[in-house]
Structure 1
Amino acid sequence: MCLIVFAWQVVPAVPLIAAANRDEYYAREAAPAGPWPDQPRIYAGRDLKAGGSWMGVAQTDAEAAGASPRFAAITNIRAPLEHKADAPSRGQLVSGFLAGSMSPAEYVEHIRAGADAYNGFNLVIGDRDTLIWYSNKGGDDPRNGQPLAPGIYGLSNATLDSPWPKVLKTKAQFASLLCLGAPDDAYFEMLADTTRAPDLRLPETGVPLEVERLLSAVRIESPGYGTRTSTVVKLYADGPAVLHEMLIQ
């Protein structure tokens, strides 16, 4: 994912609501969201190059007995000067949590020692009871690797709640839609905004100005790279997780 906004323990009976766009090169093949043949508990899109995912849910074997479904999503940290060509795929961090049985806190501790081998990432993992943001570029942010407090959060290609224009705009729209009890169609409309930010508000991430302009839109459109999917996820207090995906390219 390259943009995700989410509400944690804000809406009664729906502990988590998330809306996200995945941006990627069109040439990188991916399977649409669905059950994985080799991991049928996982429901997610799949990167067919490295085998991982960018966002998904998983129902536990004991779901009927009240065990919680699982959620995971990832965004990249944009830092071209720090890019490691031989780094493992960050999508494996998503599928690893969804396929496993560790709690969110246990999983963070499990991956922490090897986190620097990956290029920069933001990982959001959780269940009905706990949601954690963990980044290998999280620095001194006291929230990094800890259970998040109830609230509305936003991520793009910097750390949690970095005030990039599309994060600020989408968080505000998302909060309004939550207050209105809007249907999923309204979240997908929010994610379809192709307006680019003014130059004075653009972050400086080490890419050329024209690229910063292109990447500033909520939904990115260009000949070779852009928003591939939009996704809305809900974890209910009583019931299975629900993931709706809209294919763009």
Structure 2
Amino acid sequence: MKKADPPASKPPELEALWSSWLVDLGWQPSEPQQQQLQQLYSLVMAGNRTQNLTRITDPIDFWEKHLWDSLRGLRLLGSWDEIQAQPWRGIDIGTGAGFPGIPAQIALPQAHFTLLDSSQRKIAFVQEVLQQLSLAQARAVAQRAEIWGQDPQERGSYDLALARAVAAAEICAEYCLPLLKVGGRAILYRGHWTEAEAQTLKRALSLLGGKLIHVEAFTTPHSHGMRHCLLLEKVAPTPACYPRPPGIPKRQPLGQDKRR
């Protein structure tokens, strides 16, 4: 990775966004956390010179569409005092350039996140970012979700799973549910959401031992884009046949045919 540019001075618009987080998220990063998040922006911009990490390069857009958006989903877990006190074992499936897992790790220092992606290059980048940000409690792993979900040391061992901009909800559920403990929760980040998608997801969850607990709709604070976050809970053990072998969840999504 090329060396990150020195963090630029924060524009007044960004200072206002930080302040708004207390209202929009119910949480505001401490000064050290702000520095980590700002350094994360610099590192992603540096990595973007050689890798296609993100099309979002404007600092205000980055703060909203990567940082704020990543953390907004965590509100489904309860109050910040409650979730920050938990020693979550979490996994970010399809982390890409590290979202939402790296912002979540910064916001939840008691947690231990695994950042999973099938791209060796992206995971090498994420590993370097974790080192630069001194996030020793997190790890980055290059592996397919279908294989990771069948690993006996990983299967059924996580309290929390995150999946953002990965695939359709029923596909994300097949990636997430096998990795969760019974009682564990998954947060799926979506753009628009329809009742037809909800019915497909519910049929898939009935096969995976999961339940759709809550769907929360909201708009982003700066661009006013529509977002949805889905909260799933694992209520029963996932059958051993899930997740299915690599590629099959996307080619044959669960729940789209009632007979499956």
By the TM > 0.5 criterion, same fold? no
RCO higher in 1 or 2 (8 Å CA, sep ≥ 6)? 1
| Structure number with larger C-alpha Rg | 2
TM-score, normalised via structure 1 length: 0.26
When you count strand as a share of all residues, which structure comes out higher?
Answer: 1
TM-score, normalised via structure 2 length: 0.25
When you count helix as a share of all residues, which structure comes out higher?
Answer: 2
